[in-house]
Amino acid sequence: SKQAIFDGKKAIRGGIPFVFPQFGQWSFGPQHGFARIIRWNLEKAPERLPSGDVEAIFSIMDSEFTRSMWNYPFRLTYRLILREKELHFNIGVYNPSKELTFSFNLLLHTYFKVPDVRRCQITGLHGCTFIDKSREGAIFQEGRDVVTISEWTDRIYQNTPQEHIITNVVSGRKMRIQKYNFPDTVVWNPWVEKAKEISDFGDDEFPNMVCVESGHVSSPVILLPGTAFEASQILQV
């Protein structure tokens, strides 16, 4: 968004905000958790691999700030690989504790820039149940072969397949999303009225974006002491 705020207090409106350890409202801290507002460590600076790909690795771990909201030790790594027409995201969540189990939500809140969201189609959701947050969390089943957007949309699709294709992204191209260990897909567009309510989002910007988000949010991940959870996403034009 042209109205995005870069003050370090809230997530930047665009790109891929990282939702962890909570999806949605959170009584202990900011909406969608703290991972999208804290500064990550650069574990490995961008480096060209022998294959020609570029790799970078980021991480966060528990601190006084995170423990004030969520009192668990954790370590999270975020590995990005950039290829000519692909972007790979590999995520690891580790529980280093010897006795504490914790549970969490994880979601990549991906914003896609589009010429006109009304012309986009999203595949891979037919037959899936979804929680409709625009209708007080009622649960429905998707009957359409392809999902289109023509109103405020805020849905958590459950047990979705590993691949979605979005048509008519930038330059009229298709975007393929492949995801692993992310059983949910969130589809969001604020439309006219909701866009006006969002201070860091231009009133006229909603036609030029769609969020199609890979996540583990309709049920939490439960991580036992000394274990890890891994998930990944590939975006391909």
Cβ-based neighbour number of residue 3 at 10 Å: 13
Band (pLDDT 50/70/90 cuts) for residue 5 is: confident
- Kindly report which listed range (4-8, 12-16, 84-88, 192-196) carries the lowest average pLDDT score: 4-8
Contacts of 168 (CB under 8 A, 6+ apart): 114, 115, 116, 119, 120, 121, 174
Burial class (CB in 10 A: 0-12, 13-18, 19+), 212: buried
What local confidence, expressed as pLDDT, does residue 199 receive?
85
Q: Which residues are catalytic?
A: 109, 213
Q: Which of 3, 35, 11 is nearest to 200 (CA)?
A: 3
pLDDT at position 231 over 80:
yes
And the tokens for 179? Answer: 């995801």
Average of per-residue pLDDT across 103-116: 96
Q: Give the helix ranges, DSSP H, for 34-107.
A: 64-67
Give the pLDDT mean for 28-33: 94
Q: What angle do CA 107, 100, 106 make, to 5 degrees?
A: 0
Of the CATH numbers 3.40.50.920, 3.30.70.890, 3.20.19.10, 2.70.98.10, which one belongs to the domain with range 18-236?
A: 2.70.98.10
Whether a cis peptide bond, with omega within 30° of 0, leads into 21 is yes
For residue 9, pLDDT over 80 is answered with no
Which residues in 95-147 belong to E strands, given as ranges? 102-108, 111-113, 129-132, 138-141
Q: Is the dihedral of CA 143, 149, 155, 159 positive or negative?
A: positive
Q: With pLDDT > 70 as the criterion, what percentage of the chain qualifies?
A: 100
| 78 band by pLDDT with thresholds 50, 70 and 90 | very high
Q: Are 18 and 108 in contact (CB under 8 A)?
A: yes
pLDDT, residue 12, reads 83
Give the dihedral of Cα atoms 3, 185, 181, 33; nearest 10 deg.
40
Q: What is the DSSP letter of 40?
A: P
**According to the model, what pLDDT value does residue 10 have?**
80
pLDDT of 57 higher than 80: yes
This prediction has a pTM of 0.95
